[in-house]
Structure 1
Amino acid sequence: MNLGDLVVRKSYGGDVTFRVENIVQNRAVIKGTEFRLLADSPLNDLVQVPPTRITQRGQRAQIKADESLTQLRKDRQEQSKRSGETVTGAWNQSPKEPAYFEVPGKVLHLDGDALYLNKSLSLYEQLRIPAEGHHVHESKMADTLYRLLPRVRPDIVVITGHDGVLKQPHAYDLYSLASYKNSQNFVAAIRAAREYERNFDALTIVAGACQSHFEALLGAGANFASSPGRILIHALDPVYIAAKASFTSIRESVSLSDVLNHTISGNQGMGGIETRGSFRIGMPRLQDLSSLKVTPSVV
């Protein structure tokens, strides 16, 4: 078995596909290809699988992910249509040259996983959402936000990576942050973001990963967080919520039932509180400056 091989765990019924990240003696560090799960496993519990093999759980997640992306694109088109209807009565416009321009909410995305970050940034680009992403270890996210927030000035912050309930010799306590791999780091990052902006509608925070301490993340100041049911979440669940916030109008609240039901993991994977959208329209439409004929007025 080599680094980069795709594997499943026999003891879990081969329900999740992983990629081998590291091998130390007779154990391997493995990372989920679809779910935000980082684990370790004895080598004799792993079975190598071909790249074309998809587990039933992975297949269901992919179907749901495709449906969610389709819904996002549909919502994006509907938002553009509503924008046009909003300004129709105020300005004459033609279908080819709308009288307005759109300003979706800007996203700052910190991710503890470089591969998932790249997938997320690709989705933001497809949806035409302005986004800046950084691969940051979970333990350094709070310090990174202190530095980045004043420069980037985002409308939405995504704080995600890897998490999970730790295996312990004694019974775990789901109320305690000490029972989680990175929830305490996410809490520190959320608090740093809230020190920068206390208004929940001026800065929307989406935080957490697999099995994160949902209540602690909300208590620290997140608008949306994982995971109410302490389940595995899909790699793109935080991105879906950030996208919904980005192109929901500032005159409206993000529909909780709509956004949570359309995440891949559902309302046991992600939850949140009422939050105003970040999408704005402006007038008049932005012009092509290279075509403007301007007479200079300053010597």
Structure 2
Amino acid sequence: MAIQIGDIVGRRSYQCDLLFRVVKISEDESIVELAGEDMRLIADAPLDDIVVMNRDEQQQIKKKIIEKEKSSFRLFRQDYQLLRHKMEYSATGGYDKNNSYFKLPGKVLHVDGDPYYLNKCLELYKKLNVPVYGIHMKESEMPEKVPALLEEVAPDILVITGHDAYSSSKGEKNDLQAYRHSKYFVRTVKDARKKNPNLDQLMIFAGACQSHFESLIRAGANFASSPSRVNIHALDPVYIVSKVSFTSFVDRINVWEVLRNTITGDDGLGGVETTGFLRTGMPIKSHDNSNSQSTTAEV
């Protein structure tokens, strides 16, 4: 069966351990460009190394990924409940539980090089109640277009991600030019930091699979991938920035407390101490004639 764009495939040379989408086929049909189905990896492969995965094979591989996703979501919800109890105590002064209050979590601008991943992330943001503005653009376009978006959206948190990959044939691991898209992520972070140099006024996550972690952190990212040059999961950026969004602005976030809830962990993700963005306010006044009750709300 002929390989077509959009097919879900595996690589024989890697024992079909990951699922990929075919995104491009060379004119002579000898090379295909692949994007990870769950991992933020992009790769070129010979056509004869590619095999189309049937539904049962896909489900078998996805089952392990889904279990990891559920575990990360469960851990995040546990952390969120702790944050919520702390927030309620602070908002009410620890005394009057009958007072109503509202919360303002940090607003996210998520720029993604993959529209499929972007939609998947937006679904999770919605599930977690994180305010987000999402937009898809090619990684190569990000340095020119993201600065204007920052002025338009005025986010508290910026996510710059998509696909990336390290190629040993292009250089050593410390050579930025040996990476597919790291150079674009680095330029985008630098330009964003020119507009807002304070790491606690604009939190930045940058990178994808195998990205040049050290360059991204030096450029001004709070969190980045990938310290061990491993693949990261498509949803990892969401868990990191959601933790920051729902942490109070008076609290600093321990890096490990953020990484432990991700799917990839500290091999694929790292960062620096960062202040949260959540602010609480009160009261919420009811303008109808019904009895008022204690409430929490997002505005």
Q: Same fold (TM over 0.5)?
A: yes
How far apart are 1:55 and its partner, in Å? 7.7
- Match for residue 202 of structure 1? 201
How far apart are 1:78 and its partner, in Å? 2.5
- Match for residue 50 of structure 1? 54
Spell out, residue by residue over 1:46-66, the C-alpha distance to the aligned partner (whole angstroms, 9 max, x if none): 111123424876544332221
Whole-Å Cα distance in 2 between the matches of residues 217 and 187 of structure 1?
A: 5
Structure 1's 3 and 267: CA in aligned 2 closer, same or farther, altered over 3 A? same
- Match for residue 16 of structure 1? 18
Q: Which runs of 5+ in 1 are unaligned?
A: 293-299
AA of the residue aligned to 1:185:
Y
Whole-Å Cα distance in 1 between the matches of residues 229 and 96 of structure 2?
A: 52
Q: 3-state SS of the aligned residue for 1:68?
A: helix
- Match for residue 292 of structure 2? none
1:107 partnered with 2:92: no
Spell out, residue by residue over 1:232-273, the C-alpha distance to the aligned partner (whole angstroms, 9 max, x if none): 111111111011111111121122112112211110100001
Task: Name whichever of 138-147 and 21-30 sits farther off.
Answer: 21-30
- Match for residue 137 of structure 1? 138
Spell out, residue by residue over 1:187-231, the C-alpha distance to the aligned partner (whole angstroms, 9 max, x if none): 110011101111111111000001100000000000000000000
AA of the residue aligned to 1:234:
H
Contact 1:76 1:127 (C-alpha < 8 Å) held by counterparts: no
- Match for residue 295 of structure 1? none
Q: 3-state SS of the aligned residue for 1:191?
A: helix
Number of aligned residue pairs: give it: 285
The residue correspondences of 1:258-277 to structure 2 (distance < 5 A) are 258-277=257-276
Spell out, residue by residue over 1:57-87, the C-alpha distance to the aligned partner (whole angstroms, 9 max, x if none): 6544332221111122222233222222123
Q: 3-state SS of the aligned residue for 2:126?
A: helix
- Match for residue 121 of structure 1? 122
- Match for residue 296 of structure 2? none
The residue correspondences of 1:181-220 to structure 2 (distance < 5 A) are 181-220=180-219
Aligned-residue Cα RMSD (Å) equals 1.9
- Which residue, 32, 36, 41 being the options, matches 1:37? 41
Task: Name whichever of 64-73 and 74-83 sits farther off.
Answer: 74-83
- Match for residue 254 of structure 2? 255
Whole-Å Cα distance in 2 between the matches of residues 166 and 13 of structure 1?
A: 20
Whole-Å Cα distance in 2 between the matches of residues 108 and 282 of structure 1?
A: 23
Contact 1:27 1:41 (C-alpha < 8 Å) held by counterparts: yes
- Match for residue 66 of structure 1? 70
Contact 1:91 1:99 (C-alpha < 8 Å) held by counterparts: no
Contact 2:103 2:278 (C-alpha < 8 Å) held by counterparts: yes
Whole-Å Cα distance in 2 between the matches of residues 135 and 237 of structure 1?
A: 17
Q: 3-state SS of the aligned residue for 2:146?
A: helix
Contact 2:76 2:261 (C-alpha < 8 Å) held by counterparts: no
Structure 1's 52 and 76: CA in aligned 2 closer, same or farther, altered over 3 A? farther
Contact 1:14 1:55 (C-alpha < 8 Å) held by counterparts: no
Q: 3-state SS of the aligned residue for 1:39?
A: strand
Whole-Å Cα distance in 1 between the matches of residues 156 and 225 of structure 2?
A: 20
- Match for residue 163 of structure 1? 164
Whole-Å Cα distance in 1 between the matches of residues 70 and 86 of structure 2?
A: 24
What TM-score comes out, normalization by structure 1 length? 0.89
1:88 partnered with 2:92: yes
Q: 3-state SS of the aligned residue for 1:259?
A: helix
AA of the residue aligned to 2:70:
D
